[in-house]
């Protein structure tokens, strides 16, 4: 794109001055809009309904066999070139190698290497909180069950860490069901204790995911147009629900809500729920709603 400012033909002197001023103002805007990593237009965060989360805890240990579900949290950016490889690997692991009965993934957007990742900008407070919690310095970074950080682009290293965590005996059973009624999203969670365990520092978080998002043109500079398991909201917050506080309250039922945003694809939403030790960062168990 070339813009010639110096010559306006037979225009009057006053018109020439006005046109120069107009181009001086317009030029930075045109350059910004032509930036390769500028994301496409995204609709404003208009509220279309509510998300209602209901969690019922049973702290009496139950004697039953429950499979461990591993949580994979990945930090990525739409302009991160290595993320193309890690995203492909993670999709294969979650959809093919293990499935949601063994492995669930959450993608947290970052503001690096490019600061204008549209997913990051859509939920900056949550992204910043998670980046700080895990001390994330570069993308991609993959965290397995809160405590392992294998190379994001090494499928063998990822599988090794996942398999090791699958061998651990879970302390909880997490059952997640969801449904849409009259434009609102209802999530019901049952958490059952499987062993006597110290609840101090244990919290529960529910993360709303958009399972698949596709663009006609890449929103960043790495060429990707399709994204999976993108975090859209965290309930009640990244601080989570304190299990110790729930037990001490004498009421095992916790209810909370959040806004449902209009431009989310409701047929692509899932809820991932996990129990984590906020001190050690270890994720003890996870679960996902299966639409």
Least confidently predicted of 1-5, 78-82, 107-111, 250-254 = 1-5
Give the pLDDT of residue 17: 42
Cross-strand pairs, 207? 234, 272
Taking only the tens place, the pLDDT of each residue in 212-266 is 999 999 999 999 999 999 999 999 999 999 999 999 998 999 999 999 999 999 9
Would you say residue 13 lies in a domain?
A: no
Least confidently predicted of 11-15, 50-54, 205-209, 260-264 = 11-15
Taking only the tens place, the pLDDT of each residue in 150-205 is 999 999 999 999 999 999 999 999 999 999 999 999 999 999 999 999 999 999 99
The span from the CA of 288 to the CA of 188, in Å, is 11
**pTM summary value:** 0.85
Query: In the structure encoding, which two tokens stand for residue 26, read together?
Result: 């317009």
Taking only the tens place, the pLDDT of each residue in 88-146 is 999 999 999 999 999 999 999 999 999 999 999 999 999 999 999 999 999 999 999 99
For residue 3, pLDDT beyond 80:
no
Q: Mapping DSSP to helix (H, G, I), strand (E, B) and coil, where does residue 265 land?
A: coil
Would you say residue 196 lies in a domain?
A: yes
Of 153, 147, 177, 174, residue with least CA distance to 73 = 147
Would you say residue 20 lies in a domain?
A: no
- In the chain, how many domains are there? 1
Range of the domain at 176: 47-288
For residue 21, pLDDT beyond 80:
no
CATH code at position 254? 3.40.30.10
Give the pLDDT of residue 44: 56
- Which whole number is the average pLDDT over 34-38? 38
Would you say residue 207 lies in a domain?
A: yes
Q: Assign 291 a pLDDT band (cuts: 50, 70, 90).
A: low
Would you say residue 15 lies in a domain?
A: no
∠ CA 99-196-165, nearest 5°, is: 30
Of 196, 165, 190, residue with least CA distance to 178 = 190
Would you say residue 21 lies in a domain?
A: no
Would you say residue 281 lies in a domain?
A: yes
**Cis peptide preceding 139, ω within 30 of 0:** no
Would you say residue 259 lies in a domain?
A: yes
Q: Assign 72 a pLDDT band (cuts: 50, 70, 90).
A: very high
């Amino acid at each position: 794109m070339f813009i010639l400012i110096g010559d306006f033909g037979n225009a009057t002197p006053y018109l020439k001055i006005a046109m120069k001023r107009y181009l001086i103002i317009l030029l930075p805007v045109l350059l910004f809009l032509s930036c390769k990593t500028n994301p496409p237009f995204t609709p404003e965060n208009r509220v279309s309904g509510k998300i209602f989360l209901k969690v019922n805890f049973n702290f009496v240990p139950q004697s039953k066999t429950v499979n461990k579900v591993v949580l994979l949290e990945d930090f990525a950016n739409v302009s991160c070139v290595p993320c193309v490889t890690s995203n492909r690997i993670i999709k294969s692991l979650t959809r093919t190698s293990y499935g949601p009965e063994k492995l669930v993934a959450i993608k947290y957007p970052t503001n690096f290497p490019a600061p204008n990742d549209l997913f990051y900008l859509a939920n900056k407070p949550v992204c910043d909180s998670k980046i700080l919690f895990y001390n994330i310095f570069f993308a991609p970074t993959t965290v397995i069950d809160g405590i392992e950080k294998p190379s994001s682009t090494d499928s063998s290293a990822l599988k090794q860490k996942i398999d090791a965590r699958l061998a651990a005996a879970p302390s909880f059973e997490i059952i997640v069901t969801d449904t849409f009624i009259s434009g609102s999203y209802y999530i019901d969670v049952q958490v059952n204790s499987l062993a006597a365990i110290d609840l101090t520092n244990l919290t529960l978080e529910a993360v709303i995911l958009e399972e698949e998002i596709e663009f006609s043109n890449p929103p960043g500079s790495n060429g990707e147009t399709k994204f999976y398991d993108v975090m859209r909201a965290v309930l009640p917050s990244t601080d989570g629900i304190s299990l110790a506080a729930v037990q001490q309250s004498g009421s095992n039922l916790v209810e909370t809500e959040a806004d449902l945003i209009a431009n989310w694809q409701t047929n692509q939403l899932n809820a991932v729920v996990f129990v984590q030790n906020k001190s050690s960062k270890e994720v003890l168990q996870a679960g996902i709603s299966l639409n």
